[in-house]
Amino acid sequence: MGVEVRADTQRTDTQRSWPMAPREEHVAAGLAAMHERPACLLLIEGGAGVGKSALASAIAARLGRTVTITGDLERATTPLGAFEDLLSGLGIGDDSALSELIAALGRATEGRVLIVDDAPRLDPASAEVIRRLVRGFGVAVIATARTGETLPSALQVLDGEGSVRRQHLDGLSTDEVGRILEERFRVPAREEDVQLLAWQTEGNPLHLRVIVDAAIAAGEVLHRGDFVQITSATDAGGLTAILAARLATLTEPARQLLWVVALTQPVPRSSLTEAPGRDELVAELLRAGLVVAAPETDRVTIAHPLVAEALDPSTRADDTVVEALRLLRASGDPTRRFAAVELEHRSGRRTPADELVWAASFAANTGEHRLAAELADASIREPARRTTAFAAHLAAAGYHSLADDLDEADRLFALAETLATQPGERAALASGWGEHLVFRRQDPTAALEQGERVRATLSDQVSVALDADLWRWRVLAERGVGGDERGEAGIRASIAAVVAASMRGEPAAARAAVHPLTTVDGTGPLASDAAIAVGLQRYVELRSAGAAEPAAAFLESARATAGDEVGFVTVMLAAQRTQEGRLADGLRLSELAVDQLRRSDSGELLSLALALRATVNAQRGAVGLARDQLAELDDATVSGAAVLQRAECRAFLLAAEGDLSAAANTIIAVVSDAVGSGYRFLGALTLANALRFGEVARTAALSQTLCEGLAEHVEPCLALSELAGALRDGRADRVAPAAQRLARAGLVPAAIDGLALASALPASGPVLRRIHSVGVSLAGGVDAPSLQRREGPALTPRELSVAQAAAIRLRSREIAEQLGISARTVENQLQSVYRKLGVTSRDELRTALRDLGMLPDEDQPLAGDTP
């Protein structure tokens, strides 16, 4: 039998962490669900403590980097409370609109798996963010929920759209319980004990741990050499009952500290241990398994939601609430500041009016208009200075308007008018009241009457914003908001006019036609088409101005708020990233666009997305896949932009076969047709590929024709014409600035290939050096392969820096110090340079670099230096 030893006398048993159940079959099922298309939210359901969080983490770990957020009962009404940590790391202000927040979170979670623990306990704003991240950004999400619990409404919408896949998790089998106990104690547990524990706990891992830990603490776990005996006298009961009994054994100071953690988690351990004697209390809670401290941050959280749920609210001391409020506000984080306001409200404490006004604004920025109205109402009831009282009434009126409490909004606007004594206050009131009358009451005439009455009392300096509002209201009054001109036929005509003008490359004309669409009912049958037209107008306007990055930023922001039009936004962003030579991004986004458009569009937009996806794969060398994807296109739905994109794909497939001439012919032909069919804007973007295929003369001629036929400025077309013309005319000195202009317009690969073509032109050393350095700098952020061979050796940027330094006779150690690399790396890179240039010494290297125009003059910086 061996020697009997109580487990509580062995350090390894009392402090060793509990093993995780592998549950490989569940991990495999989850991975299979996550790899299905379209992307969705995987919801793992099961009883409390059954291991849902562990399974979610195990699945996510196989997929890549993860971000975890947790639904918290104490933060279930704090807007974006679940995203508190992530938002604080992004440095987003508390006045940011929901669209800005979602766009920032979309970037932060890109390429990661988002784990959402306890999804039913999410606040509504966090749930809405997750819905938009799944639909708009294709973020992979794994969520957990207890069986039978109701998901937040935003996630119910996802479920109704078929974007939620479910996986049920049962308890451990008896064999699995035995394996966990053996791993825990390093020897098998007695068979009858395993069976009893499996029966008592129904295989629930948390329940099992609680019972066994209690047995260890009671000295009821005995090592008998080659097995362990668990003779617990604990009446298992329910898991919640066991936890409540464990809480009852805590000292009062420890219980209050546990309350502090529950109200403020995650909280730095150092904040909890500021008072004398607190270190031991934290240690007591850790030993009891009621809290955990993250090793990388040492922040303390409740070990499991059931612990917080087992806390009796009647045991929470007043001083504990005061400490929790101090900790929440001390962080400076807006979501924690809001949580403090909520805690004050729940505990019957008074909150200053200006703090309530701030909280209402924070809630409104996250889309929680009803909550914002309630908080603003509370601010009105608090005693305050006149200025604060005015701000509170104006805010409350606006939030009630947004929450569809129109009569209450009218009453509060009228009360705010009695408090407005300063010119700035009267102007702000007139603007807010007018917006309410125009867009909620559908009465622009009334808005104009009250606005013009106030405007007569204001100076020009004070009324700048109000003047702009009055102009908009006059336009809407003339068009008759809600009248015949807003009928379906009128809206359709406006949509057609905007799209046609945008495709012709006439952003100003499109802007003039877009105004009737900006007030279209967001729930009407044409809402999505109107939103697409409005977005297209703004995007073409930005691209036409050469503002490629602002155009991409606009699309990123639009993805955060888009409804059914999200597929259009994503395919436009995918096209731009592809045009910029960012093929990995282009592929990811085009695949997402295909998924999104299969749900909402079966016509030209889906065809565009399918053709774009095939184009990206053709450029990446996946020729067979590209051909198969191109074959998915239905000729009946291929029109407009999809025709141009399909031709691009066919051209890159020809290029992959080595026939650059045929590829260029394909592009020239389709763009020539586009000129006559009104697709000049997209035609100019497509034409840049002809230059990539080496067709200089016809690209120069056709781009000039395009430019001459444009009624307005379209920067990508003008930049392409300038670069192609410089190459055609042999003007090497004009190539580098023209290529930089084209790159700024968002056509980076065409600029790089144009520079490569220019390297064969006769030119002086400084001109060749400029062409080479611009090519190197542009290639840094591009993964699209160059289609043109640059004359001269293809040195990497680092090799060029090392070669230039060696050519001016710096020693390897000096080069290493200058570039921040090791001397061995310098020698290795020098040998690579020697091989590429066919030289054997630094003197020969100097001559070769000068001949190639790669060696700067004495007064010019080396590559990689700061001038």
DSSP state of 188: P
Question: Binning pLDDT at 50, 70 and 90, where does residue 2 land?
Answer: very low
Averaged pLDDT, 147-166: 91
Element (H, E) at 4: strand 4-6
Mean pLDDT estimate for the chain: 86
DSSP for 605-622, please give it. HHHHHHHHHHHHHHHTT-
Band of pLDDT at residue 464, cut at 50, 70 and 90: confident
Question: Residue 860 pLDDT more than 90?
Answer: no
Which pLDDT belongs to residue 14? 41
Residue 723 predicted with pLDDT over 90: yes
Beta partners for residue 291, in sequence order: 302
Q: Give the residue among 512, 534, 508 at the shortest CA–CA distance from 713.
A: 508
Residue type, 843: D
At residue 17 the predicted structure's pLDDT band, cuts being 50, 70 and 90, is low
Confidence of residue 214 (pLDDT cuts 50, 70, 90): confident
Residue 262 pLDDT level (bands cut at 50, 70, 90): very high
Which has the closest alpha carbon to 661: 621, 701, 637, 695? Answer: 695
Q: What pLDDT is stored for residue 599 in this prediction?
A: 81
Lowest-pLDDT range of 229-243, 455-469, 498-512, 792-806: 229-243
Q: Which of 84-98, 353-367, 563-577, 735-749 is least confident?
A: 84-98
pLDDT at 788 over 50: yes
- What is the average per-residue pLDDT within 306-314? 88
Handedness of CA 534, 537, 540, 542 (dihedral sign): negative
CA distance 324 to 268: 13
Question: Which residues on adjacent β-strands are paired with residue 160?
Answer: none
Question: What per-residue confidence (pLDDT) applies to 235?
Answer: 53
DSSP state of 437: I
pLDDT tier for residue 8 given thresholds of 50, 70 and 90: very low
Cβ-in-10-Å burial (0-12, 13-18, 19+) of 541 comes to: buried
pLDDT of 94: 58
**Reported confidence tier of residue 746, pLDDT bands at 50, 70, 90:** very high
Identify the three-state secondary structure at position 487: coil
* Number of C-beta neighbours around residue 764 at 10 A: 11
**CA–CA gap between residue 554 and residue 552 (Å, rounded):** 5
Confidence of residue 487 (pLDDT cuts 50, 70, 90): low
Can you say whether the dihedral through the CA atoms of 836, 842, 848, 854 is positive or negative?
positive
The two beta strands, 221-224 and 228-230, are antiparallel
Contact assessment for residue 536 and residue 502, using Cβ atoms and an 8 Å cutoff: yes
**CA–CA separation, 39 and 51 (whole Å):** 24
At 433, list the tokens. Answer: 């009241």
Q: Is it the case that residue 250 has pLDDT exceeding 50?
A: yes
Share of residues in the chain with pLDDT > 70 (%): 92
User: Which amino acid would we find at residue 252?
Assistant: E
3-state secondary structure of 727: helix
At residue 485, the pLDDT reads 44
User: What pLDDT score does 225 carry?
Assistant: 83
Confidence (pLDDT) at 523: 52
Residues sharing a CB contact under 8 Å with residue 225, sequence separation 6 or more, in sequence order: 1, 2, 3, 187
What is the rounded average pLDDT of the residues 765-782?
81
Q: Parallel, antiparallel, or unpaired: how do β-strands 140-146 and 113-117 relate?
A: parallel
Give the per-residue pLDDT at 483: 43
Residues 153-175, mean pLDDT to the nearest whole number? 91
| β-bridge partners, 42 | 142, 165
- pLDDT tens across 641-698, in order? 889 999 999 999 999 999 999 999 999 999 998 887 788 899 999 999 999 999 999 9
Torsion of CA 752, 753, 754, 755, to 10 degrees: 50
Helix spans in 523-565 (H): 527-544, 548-561
Q: So what's the pLDDT on residue 739?
A: 95
Q: What is the pLDDT of residue 865?
A: 44
Please report, to the nearest 10 degrees, the dihedral formed by the alpha carbons of residues 689, 692, 698, 703 taken in order: 50
Q: Which phi and psi angles does 66 have, rounded to 5°? A: -125, 155
C-alpha 105/C-alpha 133 separation (Å) is: 8
In this prediction, what percent of the chain has a pLDDT beyond 90? 40
- Tell me, what's the pLDDT at 11? 36
Which pLDDT tens digit goes with each residue over 580-635?
999 999 999 999 999 888 887 667 889 999 999 999 999 999 999 999 999 988 77
Confidence at residue 862, expressed as pLDDT on a 0 to 100 scale: 45
Q: What is the pTM of this model?
A: 0.75
The predicted structure's pLDDT at residue 92: 65
CB atoms within 10 A of CB 807: 22
Mean pLDDT score, 304-312: 88
Which band of pLDDT confidence, cut at 50, 70 and 90, is reported for residue 237? low
Contact 583, 783 (CB under 8 A): yes
Residue 633, pLDDT score? 85
Compute the distance between CA of residue 682 and CA of residue 433 in angstroms, rounded to an integer.
42
Q: Residues 805-833: pLDDT tens digits? A: 998 888 898 999 888 899 899 999 998 88
The set of residues, in sequence order, having a beta carbon less than 8 Å from that of 219 and lying 6+ positions away, is 6, 7, 8
Tell me the helix, strand and coil percentages in the chain, rounded to 5: 65, 5, 30
Pairwise pLDDT comparison (178 vs 476), residue with the higher score? 178
Separation in Å, CA 513 to CA 482, 516, 518:
18, 7, 10
**Cis, peptide link before residue 38, omega less than 30° from 0:** yes
Residue the block writes with tokens 């298992």 = 236
- Determine contact, residues 380/389, Cβ cutoff 8 Å: yes
Whole-angstrom Cα distance, residue 551 to residue 424? 34
pLDDT at 12 over 50: no
Reading phi first (left if > 0) and then psi (alpha if -120 to 50, else beta), residue 161 is in alpha
Q: What is the pLDDT of residue 866?
A: 38
The DSSP call for residue 816 is H
Beta partners for 168?
45
- Write the pLDDT tens digit of every residue in 524-548: 677 788 888 889 999 999 999 999 9
Task: Dig out the tokens for 138 from the structure.
Answer: 């294709």
Distance CA 258, CA 247 (A): 9
Token pair in block for residue 682: 């997209």
Q: How far from chain centre, in Å, is Cα 73?
A: 25
Measured CA to CA, the distance from residue 549 to residue 527 in angstroms comes to 27
Distance CA(181)–CA(227), nearest Å, equals 10
Binned at pLDDT 50, 70 and 90, residue 415 comes out as very high
Look at residue 232 in the predicted model and tell me its pLDDT: 64
Considering only residues 844 and 181, tell me which one the structure prediction assigns the higher pLDDT.
181
CA dihedral 765, 771, 773, 778 (to 10 degrees): 180
